[in-house]
Amino acid sequence: MRKPVVLITGAGGEIGHGLVTRLAGSGPPIITLDVTPLDRSLAPLVAREFIGSITDISLLDRVLAEFEVERVFHLAALLSARAEFTPVTAHHVNVEGTLNLLEFAQRQGESHGRPVLFIYPSSIAAYGLPDLETKMRAGAVTEDQYAHPTTMYGCNKLYCEQLGHYYAKHYKQLSADAIARVDFRSVRFPGLISAITVPSGGTSDYAPEMIHAAAKGERYDCFVRPDTTIPYMTMPDGVDALLALADAARDRLTQSAYNLTAFNPSAAEIRDVVVGAFSSAAIGYRVDPKRQGIVDSWPAAVDDSAARRDWGFAPKCDFERAFREYLIPTIRQRYHR
Ligand code: SER
């Protein structure tokens, strides 16, 4: 008998870290797939750790043979900044890897006779506004506006939202005996800020990097201008959102990708709060025009009303509370231990 489990890809990453910690001990056992071994705090929380790539179909076949996967949280990806150095590799991992996982979910669903829930974090990078003036004028953008990404990562995310929709609704639509067995749901995350982990390879990383550097007493040069603004949310709110979307009633969902946001401070506003909280903070600006260009193409605000309406998205932390109740106390404890 195969065992019913939840599969988390990219489990060792930032979101994975939060999700594994949150899911452990409640509900079905967790199995993970990541290119590197999980760190010591996570490994004991999972029932089985597969080490390898989502591009390795034989590895996915092994998982399929051994486990009955009911839910997939497909988090593995190369983030936006890293992907610009190796776009073909990024496409291979982000697109072909996702295709492999969708096929895997379809096979799983066929073998248990009911849909496999497939949760996919898309991104604010799926947007591409043509210039700063348009960004300033646009206000809170809806899912269908300005979906013209400028990065490989953004293209990958936008396309995989569509691919997921295909697997959920139109899979082999001309074949008489095929049934779609993937219940695909995705969110477009804003920048995520964790007090526990530090991101790598993203373009929204200036916010978390600034906070963690200040807490460690290290100098930090922010790579975007002070006025740069994009939406953010805390990692615990991000993880809660994935779980709320996973638990939502299927018939309430009116779209396959949902915007999310909690607050949208400028880089200068983040700097001000961080300097207020950590007396030794030394934060300057050294603008990297290329990464600045990417962040300038992302909206300053997104409209998350569909997520609020369809599945009750309601982040706990606004900007003030994120720092006061989550980031500052948790980060202090982390670096002073
Ligand atoms: N935080 C991500 C990045 O910067 C966006 O999804 O790449």
Looking at residue 293, its amino acid is G
Q: Which atom of ligand 1 is nearest to the CA of 205?
A: 4
User: Do the first three CATH levels of 3-190+234-259 and 192-232+262-302+318-336 match, i.e. the same topology?
Assistant: no
Residue numbers in the chain where pLDDT is lower than 70: 337
Ligand 1 binding pocket mutation candidate from 204, 228, 288, 302 (most atoms within 8 A of CB): 204
| C-alpha triplet 23, 192, 238: angle, nearest 5° | 35
Please report the beta strands in the chain, taking only residues with DSSP state E, as ranges in sequence order.
3-9, 30-34, 48-51, 67-74, 116-123, 140-141, 182-189, 191-193, 219-222, 232-234, 257-259, 282-285, 301-302
Nearest of 110, 245, 121, 238 to residue 167 by alpha carbon: 110
Measured between its terminal Cα atoms, the distance across the chain in Å is 45
Q: Specify whether domain 192-232+262-302+318-336 bears CATH 2.30.29.
A: no
Q: How far is the CA of 59 from the centre of ligand 1 (A)?
A: 27
Compute the distance between CA of residue 280 and CA of residue 215 in angstroms, rounded to an integer.
8
Compute the distance between CA of residue 204 and CA of residue 199 in angstroms, rounded to an integer.
9
Model pTM score: 0.97
Using alpha carbons, list the distances in angstroms from residue 209 to 213, 269, 313: 6, 15, 27
Ligand 1 binding pocket mutation candidate from 14, 15, 78, 124 (most atoms within 8 A of CB): 124
Q: Any residues with CB less than 8 A from the CB of 71 and at least 6 apart, and which?
A: 6, 7, 28, 116, 117, 118, 119, 246
Please report the beta strands in 236-281, taking only residues with DSSP state E, as ranges in sequence order.
257-259
Residue boundaries of the structural domains of the chain: 3-190+234-259, 192-232+262-302+318-336
Nearest residue (by CA) to ligand 1, atom 3, is 202
Q: Which atom of ligand 1 is nearest to the CA of 151?
A: 7
Burial class (CB in 10 A: 0-12, 13-18, 19+), 44: exposed
SS3 302: strand
Compute the distance between CA of residue 306 and CA of residue 255 in angstroms, rounded to an integer.
8
Q: Which atom of ligand 1 is nearest to the CA of 201?
A: 7
Tokens found for residue 182: 């993937």
- The pLDDT assigned to 241 comes to 98
Q: Any residues with CB less than 8 A from the CB of 69 and at least 6 apart, and which?
A: 4, 5, 6, 7, 31, 63, 104, 105, 108, 116
- The pLDDT assigned to 32 comes to 98
Nearest of 100, 88, 167, 153 to residue 122 by alpha carbon: 153
SS3 172: coil
Ligand 1 binding pocket mutation candidate from 15, 80, 295 (most atoms within 8 A of CB): 80
- The pLDDT assigned to 337 comes to 62
Compute the distance between CA of residue 24 and CA of residue 47 in angstroms, rounded to an integer.
10
Q: Using CA atoms of 55, 255, 249, 314 in order, give the dihedral in degrees to the nearest 10.
A: 100
Compute the distance between CA of residue 337 and CA of residue 333 in angstroms, rounded to an integer.
6
Within 6 Å (CB) of ligand 1, which residues are found?
A: 79-80, 123-125, 153, 189, 191, 202-204
Q: Which atom of ligand 1 is nearest to the CA of 79?
A: 7
Query: Contact at 8 Å (CB) between 70 and 7?
Result: no
Nearest residue (by CA) to ligand 1, atom 6, is 123
Q: How far is the CA of 263 from the centre of ligand 1 (A)?
A: 16
Which superfamily is assigned to 3-190+234-259 in CATH?
NAD(P)-binding Rossmann-like Domain (3.40.50.720)
Nearest residue (by CA) to ligand 1, atom 2, is 202
